[in-house]
Every structure is written in C-alpha cells, then in structure tokens.
Amino acid sequence: MSGKKIQIFDTTLRDGEQVPGCKLNMKDKVDLALKLESLGVDIIEAGFPISSPGDFISVKEISKVIRHAAVCALSRAVLKDIEIAAEALQHAERPRIHTGIGTSDHHILTKFNSNREDILIRAVQCVRWAKNFVDDVEFYAEDAGRTDNDYLARVTEAVINAGATVVNIPDTTGYCLPNQYAEKIAYLVNNVPNIDKAVISCHCHNDLGLATANAIAGVMAGAGQIECTINGLGERAGNTSLEEVVMILKQHNNLGFYTNIVTKDLNPISRLVSETMRMPVQPNKAIVGSNAFAHSSGIHQDGFLKNAQNYEIINPEEVGAEASKIVLTARSGRSALAYRLQMLGFTFDRDDIDGLYQIFIQIADGKKEVDNEDLEMMAKQFKQPAA
C-alpha cells in the first residue's frame, strides 16, 4: 500500500452502543471487539468505564483479549473518570485514554457555566492526569464543529504540549458543512505550531446526513484518523459509517490514502452488528444495505447485464456482499426477464420473450416483486401447447 495510512478508530462499542436499544452485554462486546480486530481497525473504543460497572468490566475483558489494536476508554475531564478508565485498561497491550471537554461557547456557557480560560486549564489538566497512567492520550474538544477556530487552535496547542498524542475534533452536533469542517482542520494544521506532534482525528455526527462527507473532507485537509462505527450507528442520527469511509478511500485511491481494513469482511460484520444490536440496516444503505447491489429498473438491468461496471462501481465480492441481484418488478425490462428465466434453466428466443413479457408485466403490476415461483409457472404454461 502506498500513500498516507489513515487510522480507523472504531467506536461501535461506545458511541454506537449509546443508541437506545443497542446496549450489549459483556460477552457480546468482547466477541465484537475480536471481530473488529480481525477486520483491521487500528483502535477500538471499548466503552466509558465510569458510566456503569458493566461497561467497566467490558473494557477490562476486551483489554485482556485484544493484542494488535489499541483499546481506548472514554472519560470526561474529571480526574476520577480518568483513574477508572486507566484501571479498566490495565491489561491492554496498547491502552489509550480518550478524555476531553466541550469547547464551543454553547457548551462553555450553558453546560459548564464557565469561560474559555477555565476550560483551557481543565483541558490541560485532564491530559496531564491521563499521562500519569498511559502514554497514548487522545483529547476531544467536544462540539469542536461549533467552536471558534482561533480558540480551538489554542486548546489544541495546549493539550499537545501537555502530552496529547491525538486531538479529536468532533462535530458533535453534525452541524458543519464539508467545506467548513475541512477549513477547521486546515486551520489547525496551519496555525498550531506543534501540530506535527499529534494526529488530528475526525469524529462526525450525521444530523444533516454529512458525517461521511465531513470525515473525508477532514482527512483531505490533513487529519490522520477517522472515528466511525459499523452501519453508522451512534447518538441520534449516528456517526460516520466505517464501511463508507473505508470504501471511499479505497475507491478514490488517487487521493493518496489507505486503511488496513479487510474489505471483504465489511458485509459479514455489518450483519453481525445488526443482529447483535437488534438494529436493522436500511436496505438502501451504501455498501451493506440489502439493495446496495440490486438492480431493478429495465434501463439499469440491461446495462448491467451487458457490463456490470455500467452500474456498479464496487464488486460485491470486494465487500463480502452476496452477488448482485436482478430484481424483477413492473419497471424491469425484457433483458432482465430473459436473464432470470435463464438462471432457472429456461431458454427462450426473442419472440418468446416478447410474448412472455406481456404476461410478466401483468403479474408485475399486481405485486411488488416477481419471484422464481411466478417465473416457473409462467415459463411452464408458456411452453405447454394449449389443449
């Protein structure tokens, strides 16, 4: 692989698990962490240990079994949180503490009833405290998306001086447009004197459907890590979806980025997360939705059957999806009908297909999808001479 390696920080087990109804038990979390490690993620955010005894144990058990990926635990900028995170990570081969505080004026004034100078001091204190326990400390500037860039640059410089190895710039509320998020990252790259001593991380929420676009814009502006979840799970409208950013960077390899993700495992892990968290994936979801490789209109089907690349930019095998499907609906055409009949072992000439198509379209108008049973019945009746 050539180019710049982008670190994939998976937060399915932390931000993803915050989704109502997605709570996991310890065994499920450990099993998923092992799958995430085989998928090739660089960092697994395993949980928020101070939040509950169950999360503490999960982070501890995950730390015991994960040997290659870094295991990360979340904390607030609270000394006790950081101590508990460190304790949960004690068996980790590569422990990381993720600590931080809100830096937007919204958060500073209405959440902390504080001021910028006080928040800056607390940010530095929490990083210094975490450094007593682990080398790898990631600082998050919560609501960085709505934080004044100049102040964000001051906070970033100060936490890097305090020892932060990664600085996370979350668009916590999913507010930014891709150009605004990219400008924010570029501002840090150009205005923080010690920025070369830390990795900038993108953590984007999907409230306006821009989480993936913003993360990619951030990387193009100089960030080196993307925080994401399988199936885009996460608070409210979710986070950047792992499968989307990974395939964007792979598909557009001329951008000069690569990841370590084993892309053929994307669909299997998507299904596993969906089943374990009991959270269905929308059919039209990019890469892992059930319709991601299904073709149903006549124009598309005809073009696809002539050359798959007319209508598919990714080979389903590359992302571990089932083979592409030709779905028969009232919008389908003769090529698709002939193809599906052929798949069932029926070969007809062009005139027969014209005749069959008239029967097909009547059936198709009466139901959502024409299935193999309908086709078998149509083909057999058509072949039998009238008595």
Per-residue contact flags (x/-) with ligand KIV for residues 101 to 140, judged by CB under 6 A? ---------------------------------------x
Q: How far is the CB of 108 from ligand KIV (least distance, A)?
A: 14
Q: How far is the CB of 26 from ligand KIV (least distance, A)?
A: 22
Per partner kind, with CB cut-offs from 5 to 8 A, the member of ligand KIV, Zn ion, none near residue 214 is none
Strand partners, 295: 326
Degrees, nearest 5: CA angle 366-370-375: 120
Which residue lies nearer to ligand KIV by CB, 172 or 332? 172
CA distance linking residue 213 with residue 244, whole number of Å? 10
Which residue lies nearer to ligand KIV by CB, 213 or 341? 213
Q: For residue 204, give both structure tokens.
A: 């984007």
Per-residue contact flags (x/-) with ligand KIV for residues 139 to 158, judged by CB under 6 A? -x-x----------------
Instruction: Taking the CA atoms of 19, 14, 125 and 226 in sequence, report the sign of the dihedral they define.
Output: negative
CA distance linking residue 53 with residue 363, whole number of Å? 57
Q: How far is the CB of 233 from Zn ion (least distance, A)?
A: 11
CA distance linking residue 269 with residue 258, whole number of Å? 20
Pairing of the two strands 166-171 and 199-204 = parallel
- Answer for the pair 260, 250: CB distance below 8 angstroms, yes or no: no
**Site membership for ligand KIV, residue 203 (CB under 6 A):** yes
Q: Which of 319, 239, 272 is nearest to 29 (CA)?
A: 272
Per partner kind, with CB cut-offs from 5 to 8 A, the member of Zn ion, ligand KIV, none near residue 257 is none
Q: Which of 77, 213, 218 is nearest to 140 (CA)?
A: 77
Q: How far is the CB of 319 from ligand KIV (least distance, A)?
A: 26
Q: How far is the CB of 271 from ligand KIV (least distance, A)?
A: 25
Per partner kind, with CB cut-offs from 5 to 8 A, the member of ligand KIV, Zn ion, none near residue 140 is ligand KIV
Which residue lies nearer to ligand KIV by CB, 203 or 295? 203
Using the CB atoms, write b or e for 312-330: b if 16+ within 10 Å. eebebeebbbeebbbbbeb
Which residue lies nearer to ligand KIV by CB, 37 or 81? 81
Which residue lies nearer to Zn ion by CB, 15 or 17? 15
Strand partners, 368: none
**Site membership for ligand KIV, residue 172 (CB under 6 A):** yes
Which residue lies nearer to ligand KIV by CB, 142 or 244? 142
Per partner kind, with CB cut-offs from 5 to 8 A, the member of Zn ion, ligand KIV, none near residue 156 is none
Per-residue contact flags (x/-) with ligand KIV for residues 282 to 321, judged by CB under 6 A? ----------------------------------------
**Site membership for ligand KIV, residue 170 (CB under 6 A):** yes
* Number of residues that this document lists for the chain: 387
Using the CB atoms, write b or e for 202-231: b if 16+ within 10 Å. bbbbbbeebbbbbbbbbbbbbbbbbbbbbb
Q: Which residues make up the interface to ligand KIV (CB under 6 A)? A: 15, 140, 142, 168, 170, 172, 203, 205
